[in-house]
Amino acid sequence: MVYILLGAGFEEAEALVTADVLRRAELSVSLTGIGGEYVTGSHDITVRTDLSVDQVSLTEGDMVVLPGGMGGVAAMEGSAPAMELIRQAAGDPAVWLAAICAAPTLLARAGLLPAGVRAVCYPGMEGELVQAGAVPAMDCSAVTEGRLITGKGPGAAFEFGLTLVEALAGADAARQVRAALHYGL
């Protein structure tokens, strides 16, 4: 299962494009709410969630996805259950963790980026990655390092989603979804 965490002020493009791309690959996706069944994003789009963050129980092969949006990142940081889930995902070698835009900086502030890991985030926020010991990958839209995947920002949402598909379902599945989307062709 892929759990996409949604807190008030989340970046809609990063969450919903990612969910769409993953579902096109026939992967199970849960829009996972922080603070209620309905969560409003940074551009006033309200989304009904599938379950709440405190209902998640991670198992081998699961993925936790952190969309950006300053409000959404603040909501994750301010939620004990969300931070517990993020820490659990970061510490479990059988679980994937993905973050895009401002969300990789949450991982940096929480001490969850391994020293020397290559990561990408919203341009201009790389200093937080450096302070945490990460190496910013300035020329990439999405970066995979072990079971950690990071993405640049809203414009990279399709590339980020396809990178998640490749990690979970393989390169052939990602190529098929890319072709069906007519993305980058």
Cα 93 from Cα 146, distance rounded (Å) = 9
DSSP 3-state of 105:
helix
Q: Tell which residue, 42, 52, 46, has the closest CA to residue 79.
A: 52
Pairing relation of β-strands 118-119 and 135-136? parallel
Find the catalytic residue in 101, 103, 117, 157. Answer: 101
Cα 56 from Cα 159, distance rounded (Å) = 26
Buried b (16+ CB within 10 A) or exposed e, 143-161: bbbebbbbbbbbebbbbbb
Cα 149 from Cα 107, distance rounded (Å) = 12
DSSP 3-state of 79:
coil
140 given a catalytic annotation: no
- As annotated, the active-site residues are 101
